Amino acid sequence: DVKVTQSSRYLVKRTGEKVFLECVQDMDHENMFWYRQDPGLGLRLIYFSYDVKMKEKGDIPEGYSVSREKKERFSLILESASTNQTSMYLCASSKTSGRAGFGPGTRLTVL
Amino acid sequence: SQELEQSPQSLIVQEGKNLTINCTSSKTLYGLYWYKQKYGEGLIFLMMLQKGGEEKSHEKITAKLDEKKQQSSLHITASQPSHAGIYLCGADIGSGSARQLTFGSGTQLTVLP
């Protein structure tokens, strides 16, 4: 089964801080995704990657950046956290097609 | 923009009742995925549909993809409190080499005992 882990389940940061969210998968998947989830809005795609060092913008990339230096690891970076980035962040990975496996999520609060 | 429209946004049913959740796209769907999420947790894969007219079942949950591959429905028979959660449909969109997996806004299901 797909195993996707995220570095933290809960995180509290202050406005203006730089925040790193890490995601690791153990299935040698090509594709990795970062989403944020807010009530009534479902999952919105922030960034995705189909290979090492490759990244594509999703629907809401503003205020975020990503890094994929190794195939198994996909990091989401908030350069300067703001209160409107308080949300649940979910990472996923998949092969070229087919089901995606999800991590447990990181609930980020920005004060 | 939301490529996938889900309805209803929330649903409250009495235990034992049947219910249906819909997922609609303006584009042809080449892979449609249903996931379930318990509050505050990650998504659990339920089913994948790829062919027009395809129908899959697992326990009391049945998912269908219509012939035109633009709408899917998830049907739960004789609902139980364990079915409660958020149901999300997901699909591949975009035509580039990168796989872009996008989701609907979700349906919050509450089952009253």
Task: Please report, in tens digits, the pLDDT of each residue of chain A (111 residues total).
Answer: 668 999 999 999 999 999 999 999 999 999 999 999 998 888 999 999 999 999 999 999 999 999 999 999 999 999 999 999 999 999 999 988 888 999 999 999 999
Task: Say yes or no: A92 contacts chain B, CB-CB below 8 A.
Answer: yes
Q: Which residue of A has its CA nearest to B34?
A: A99
The yes-or-no verdict on residue B103 having pLDDT over 80 is yes
Task: Say yes or no: B100 contacts chain A, CB-CB below 8 A.
Answer: yes
Task: State the pLDDT confidence band at B3, using cuts at 50, 70 and 90.
Answer: confident
Q: In chain B, what residues touch A10 (CB-CB under 8 Å)?
A: none
> Burial code of B79-111, b = ≥16 C-beta within 10 A, e = fewer?
beeebbbbbbbbbbbeeeeebbbbbbbbbbbeb
For B47-96, the pLDDT digits (tens) are: 999 888 999 998 899 999 998 889 999 999 999 999 999 999 999 876 56
Residue from A1, A4, A43 to probe the interface with B (highest B Cβ count within 10 Å): A43
Q: In chain A, what residues touch B31 (CB-CB under 8 Å)?
A: 97-98
Task: State the pLDDT confidence band at B1, using cuts at 50, 70 and 90.
Answer: very low
Residue pair B113/B15 in contact by the 8 Å Cβ criterion: yes
DSSP string, A26-84: SS--SEEEEEEEETTTEEEEEEEEEETTEEEE-S--TT-EEEEEETTEEEEEESS--GG
pLDDT value at position A51?
92
Task: Say yes or no: A11 contacts chain B, CB-CB below 8 A.
Answer: no
Q: Cβ of B43 and A4 within 8 Å?
A: no
The yes-or-no verdict on residue B112 having pLDDT over 60 is yes
- How many residue pairs bridge chain A and chain B with CB atoms within 8 Å of each other? 73
Q: In chain A, what residues touch B44 (CB-CB under 8 Å)?
A: 102
User: What CA–CA distance (Å, rounded) separates B50 from A96?
Assistant: 15
Task: Say yes or no: B7 contacts chain A, CB-CB below 8 A.
Answer: no
For A64-79, the pLDDT digits (tens) are: 999 999 999 999 999 9
Q: In chain B, what residues touch A36 (CB-CB under 8 Å)?
A: none
